[in-house]
Structure 1
Amino acid sequence: MTSPKVKIFANAEAVADSFAGDLYLLVKQTEAPVHIALSGGTTPALLFDILARDYAEKMDWSKIHFWWGDERCVPPTDAQSNYKMTVDHLLSNIEMPAGNIHRVKGERAPEDANSDYIAEISQHLPFKNNLPVFNLIILGMGNDGHTASIFPHELELLNDPNICAVATHPESGQKRVSLTGKVINNALEVSFLVTGTSKTERVREIFNHLSESEQLPSTYIRPTHGNLNFYFDQAAAAGIKTS
């Protein structure tokens, strides 16, 4: 892995705007198909709004296959669904082949949804190191340092041999389907979008290699043959040592 690329912007809107431009260039410069795993959260919602506003006609959506890095085990119409958030902010505002949208069937039993997703990924993505290769995986970072749905109490999912796994939210007990750490680290590009003061301390621990970071799943996202990018706003990056 090459050294992570860190970009710091004034606010969350600037993070989303810059990433949208970089995403457009990635898609333009990559031969189809371009397999992208999306994230939930407020910053991705901003990103999707910008993509719908500024790139609806400009982007070649037919080249892209959308996946999700994780999904809650809820129906696709549920307010908690990452898929529904993407529909509301992006998919309802662009023209994209329906067959290029690969959602987790969260309405099914968790193990069944997980198995279905593994089968669909295996059918469509190229493989390297016996693992699927995404062109890009977009990640967030939780206040507890989790990413996708790999939480601190389930660090074993970082090394799970399967493509996806059923994860459990530590507080609500809600079941989720998540890409595993090995698959995330097998991507060609991994980009974290991290904004807000609630993330400052976790970012500080990770980037300053403090002992607390050893329990943070985000620490262990280190692509084996791809690039790692961090898009921060100034609030999230406030604790990073610059010297």
Structure 2
Amino acid sequence: MTNERRVLVHPDKGALAGSVAARFITKMLDILDDQPVAHVVLTGGSMAGAVLASVAASPARTSIDWSRVHFWWGDERWVPAGDSERNDRVADEALLDALELPSGNVHRFAASDAGLTLDEAAEAYSRELADHGEGAEAPAFDITFLGVGPDGHIASLFPHRSGIQVADRSVIAVRNSPKPPPERLSLTRPVINASQRIWLVLAGADKASALGLALAGASRDEVPVAGIKGRRRTVFFVDSDAAAEVPEQLIARDY
């Protein structure tokens, strides 16, 4: 089993989204050829939506038995169900609504109008993860998608906040987030790092500094993405603007 970090550079956002979508379809076919079900973690943001929309637009998506795929989220905003701020709404509109998935395959964080407190919602998601963990606190996710903020945050684990250090829980309630909305739910770093493959998708010049610092060995407390590494492989899919500060020797020429 290999454990690699690679940076794959694409000329622009469109090429980036299309390439990641094509690789996702190919990898899902490989995974489902080897095991009965797959677990995928989704993220929010414009690039995440673009990747999922590219999957939906691909004729090759019909080759996947989506009834064998479970979808989770790395984090969610504490807003009402269906709110445009929610990460699951982005995923629904871009791809999930088109797949006609069994309801049990889509594992959403609770919404703020679900009748739970923020802490109760974190505990509920922790239980749901454990229910599918086969003895572990969460599934060993086959592919975890992550975005990266200009400050280096991933999921809702922010610099100089305690969330990135939490190791005794699978899910945390986030309050006073430096990025609105202030209340959120997030997977913790150990659960993310237990993923078989972590795919980080970054675009734009504002992400260049965070990516460069992460690859240079910055502290995870200063740049949370620096503390992220999957069990088998960690791939940074980036456009040319986001790659501006990546050392040439770290850029992969193939996958």
Same fold (TM over 0.5): yes
* Partners of 1:127 and 1:235 in 2: CA distance: 42
2:125 corresponds in structure 1 to 117
2:189 pairs with 1:181 = yes
Kindly indicate whether residue 68 of structure 2 is the aligned counterpart of residue 63 of structure 1: yes
Contact 1:32 1:64 in 2 (8 A): no
| Aligned length in residues | 240
The question of 1:241 aligning with 2:247 is answered yes
Q: Which runs of 5+ in 2 are unaligned?
A: 250-255
The question of whether the paired residues in 2 share the 8 Å contact of 1:76 and 1:83 is answered with no
**Cα offset, 1:46, TM superposition:** 0.4
CA 1:156–1:91: 2 relative to 1, 3 Å: closer
Aligned-partner SS, 1:90? helix
Matched, 1:84 2:89: yes
* Distance change in 2, residues 1:217/1:95 (3 Å): same
User: Percent identity between the aligned chains?
Assistant: 28
SS at match of 1:4: strand
Task: Return 169-178 or 134-143, whichever deviates more.
Answer: 169-178
How far apart are the structure 2 equivalents of 1:242 and 1:161? 37
Deviation (angstroms), 1:218? 0.5
State the Cα distance separating 1:207 from its structure 2 match. 2.1
Unaligned runs of 5+ in 1: none
Q: State how far apart, in whole Å, the 2-side matches of 1:212 and 1:56 are.
A: 39
The residue aligned with 1:145 is 152
Deviations 1:20-60 (A, max 9, x none): 12211221112221001100001111011111111442322
* Structure 2 Cα separation of the partners of residues 126 and 12 of structure 1: 38
Q: Distance in 1 between matches of 2:219 and 2:138?
A: 30
Equivalent runs, 1:90-109 vs 2, <5 Å: 90-107=95-112, 108-109=116-117
1 CA distance for matches of 2:241 and 2:78? 32
Please tell me whether residue 164 in structure 1 is matched to residue 157 in structure 2: no
User: In structure 1, what is the Cα distance between the partners aligned to 2:163 and 2:109?
Assistant: 22
Q: What SS is found at the alignment partner of 1:152?
A: coil
- The aligned residue for residue 26 of structure 2 is 25
CA RMSD in angstroms, aligned pairs only: 1.9
Q: CA deviation at 1:184?
A: 0.7
The residue aligned with 1:216 is: 223
Q: Distance in 2 between matches of 1:203 and 1:120?
A: 32
* 1:147-186 CA distance string (max 9 Å, x none): 0000013244344211111123125461111010000111
Return the alpha-carbon distance in structure 1 between the equivalents of residues 129 and 219 of structure 2. 34
Asked whether the equivalents of residues 157 and 165 of structure 1 are also in contact (C-alpha less than 8 Å), the reply is no
Looking at structure 2, the residues matched to 56 and 186 of structure 1 have their Cα atoms a distance apart, in angstroms, of 27
Residue by residue over 1:74-101, the C-alpha shift from the partner in whole angstroms, topping out at 9 and shown as x without a partner, is: 1221110001111111122222212100
- The answer to whether 1:14 aligns with 2:20 is no
Task: Tell whether the 8 Å contact from 1:145 to 1:152 is kept in structure 2 after alignment.
Answer: yes
Matched, 1:206 2:239: no
Alignment correspondent of 1:39: 43
